[in-house]
Amino acid sequence: MPLASSSAPPLPSAKEAPSAVPAKPPANLNVLVLSIDSLRADMPWAGYPRAIAPRLTELEKRSVSYTRAYAISSYTSMSLGGFLGGRLPSELKRSGYFFGTYPEANLFFPEILAGKGIRTLSAHAHAYFNSAGFNQGFDKYEIVPGIKFDNTTDPNVTSPQHEAIAERLLSDPALDTTRFFAWFHFLDPHDQYLSHEKDGIPPYGKTLRDRYDAEVTFTDQWLGKLFDFVESKPWGKHTAIVITSDHGEGFGEHGRYSHGFEIWENLVRIPLFVMIPGVTPRRIDTPRSTLDLAPTILELFGLPPEPSFTGKSLVPEFYGGAPEERDVIVDLPMTSNNDKRRALVHGKWKIMAFGKEESLKLFDLEADPQENSPILRGEDFDAMAKRYRAFSKTVTEVAPYACGENCLNGAYEKKKAAP
């Protein structure tokens, strides 16, 4: 069974959607993006048997939900940089450190929103967000106070404080009369997988996945509190909620744990669903990427496309349009910690490129969802290799401006890991 193949109660599929010309978003729509760090695709709404996220599961039932959604990359810096910049991280100006920084020379979509008078709000729960450059274009941008920074793990519990900051920022009376975009990236499912027994969440077991599941349940409770707050506000009736993640998580697949460094399905398949008041819920099985979110959010606010953004708006699909087949790209540039990886997903096929030399391996995700049996020759390989090479010619690679030889040869010096 492919990762996150749904055995949950079915929503209408894209094929059952009405064929009428898609409607437009309402003129007063707000957008709230809630991204959850390390949230895998195999969640309860996608058939995972343990009910670890009841509030997210309930919201997914009221949403347009993508069953084959991909993160832009396999770890936070690259995925969120691409999300904000509307481009592959390889195409953005950035340092070459693992904890990468993005200079103001990049255009981030919140800057476009703020330039049109839309209020922009954000708060985060990891010290890296102080230096990443993700604050570009936000009127309000805060970090949960008292966070301990460790460049090898995350020892903090932050959802209660984070949710409180989100409520405070969203309580601004100006939002009753001004459209807004808000983004909050919740961190608690991220390693370390800490106990929350004192918060009423009993352990599911002793394995890493058991402990991770308890972290998801803890985060879900606080997201539910935020959902209730949003619904209590006058503007809640015209606010879209986007749920997604920056990457998945490893529990021994391909001998790896945590995330980053590789782009296997368990590391890059993620949840993606969008609840828009008045929009008919359904599930869409066509592969999509969080690279599509920047142009989607611009269209939800009635703004024209930004020509430099390489994703494509999902708004027509929200309003009943038939999803078109198109390729999805996963991009992991070389950094101080990892070699280059890139993948192209086309239908059931996923071709992966390894290293600067881009050695290629093809996988049939229907027949081999765990990616254990690479295809290295044959007609299917040749066709996908040709497709990948043609795509690669369209990428405008931007070399990192820092990290020097470490970025060029993939070596890692721990003392230079953090910017």
Please tell me the predicted confidence (pLDDT) of residue 15. Answer: 52
Check pLDDT > 70 for residue 408.
no
**What are the sequence ranges of the domains in the chain?**
27-322, 329-416
Q: Are strands 272-275 and 64-66 parallel, antiparallel or unpaired?
A: antiparallel
What is the overall mean pLDDT for the chain?
91
pLDDT tens, residue by residue, 247-276: 999 999 998 888 989 999 999 999 999 999
Please tell me the predicted confidence (pLDDT) of residue 204. Answer: 96
Instruction: Report how many helices (DSSP H) and strands (DSSP E) the chain contains, helices first.
Output: 10, 17
Amino acid at 310: T
Check pLDDT > 60 for residue 236.
yes
How much of the chain, in percent, has pLDDT values that exceed 70? Answer: 91
How much of the chain, in percent, has pLDDT values that exceed 90? Answer: 81
Please tell me the predicted confidence (pLDDT) of residue 185. Answer: 98
Q: 221 preceded by cis ω (within 30°)?
A: no
Angle between helices 208-232 and 159-170 (to 10 degrees): 20
CA 13 – CA 400 distance, rounded (Å): 42
**Structural fold of domain 329-416:** Arylsulfatase, C-terminal domain (3.30.1120)
- 27-322 and 329-416: identical CATH topology: no
Please tell me the predicted confidence (pLDDT) of residue 404. Answer: 62
Residue 409 pLDDT grade (very low, low, confident, very high; cuts 50, 70, 90): low
CA 115 – CA 249 distance, rounded (Å): 36
Mean pLDDT, range 301-321, rounded to an integer: 96
pLDDT tens, residue by residue, 323-345: 999 999 999 999 988 899 999 99
Q: Are strands 30-36 and 239-244 parallel, antiparallel or unpaired?
A: parallel
Architecture per CATH, domain 27-322, reads as 3-Layer(aba) Sandwich (3.40)
Instruction: Show the beta-strand stretches assigned E in 340-386.
Output: 341-346, 349-354, 359-364
pLDDT tens, residue by residue, 61-85: 999 999 999 999 999 999 999 999 9
Beta bridge partners, 269, equal 70
pTM exceeding the 0.85 threshold for the entire prediction: yes
